[in-house]
Amino acid sequence: MNARSVAPGGLALIESLVNTRALDSDADALDTEEGRERFGLTPDDVPEARALRESLRATLLAHAGHPPHAPVTPLDALLAAAPLRVTVAADGSAALAAATAAPSLLARVAVAVAEALVEGTWQRLKACQAPDCHWAYYDRSPAGRGRWCSMQICGARAKMRRYRAKGP
């Protein structure tokens, strides 16, 4: 459904995770082996990954100025459990990294959020306003006021509904 380009940097991971569930069909890529492999998940990891995904979706809806579509665990509560560490290079530069050699999805998401905060891109990752979509997208509009994952699809549908509601 998304006609826009992929989000930059680590935000692509978050965008991809949120978009594993299509609300219009309720299809969930995490139900498939291929979908789980994309994120390094086992079947036992799926409930936590789903909770993280929906918490991220609620946060992305908030970025776009919309309430969450369902009650979820707050993202900060989930990210508090991420095993992270600060690394400092010989030149003095520092970075946030996963604390384990094989980082969990939670740790990778936490690092992506932190990097996006530093880069100033976190607020631009949003969820589509359309109630039957809520697809994650990166808002590249100059003013940062994008509302739909695709103007050609969800935006056009919303405008057509508004036009029809006005009547003759």
Spatial distance between the Cα atoms of 91 and 140, rounded to a whole number of angstroms: 33
Q: Is the pLDDT of residue 161 over 80?
A: no
Task: Determine the pLDDT at residue 82.
Answer: 95
Q: Is residue 18 part of a domain?
A: yes
Does residue 117 belong to any structural domain of this protein?
yes
Domain that holds residue 44: 11-80+113-166
The Cα-based distances of 30 to 35, 69, 142, 168 in angstroms read 5, 20, 34, 45
**Domain assignment of residue 93, yes or no:** no
Q: pTM of the prediction?
A: 0.86
> Which CATH number goes with the domain that contains 69?
1.10.3300.10
pLDDT surpassing 60 at residue 146: yes
Instruction: Indicate whether 54 belongs to any domain.
Output: yes
Least confident of 81-90, 117-126, 137-146: 137-146
Does residue 87 sit within a domain?
no
Buried b (16+ CB within 10 A) or exposed e, 96-130: bebeeeebbbbbbbbbbbbbbeeeebbebbbbbbb
Rounded CA-CA distance 109/115 in Å is 10
Q: Residue 163: its pLDDT value, please?
A: 55
Q: Is 3 part of any domain?
A: no
- Number of structural domains (the chain) is 1
Q: Is residue 142 part of a domain?
A: yes
Q: Is residue 27 part of a domain?
A: yes
- State both tokens at 83: 């095993």
β-strand pairing of 27-28 with 125-127:
unpaired
- pLDDT score recorded for residue 2: 41
pLDDT of residue 4: 58
Which token pair is 93?
A: 């530069």
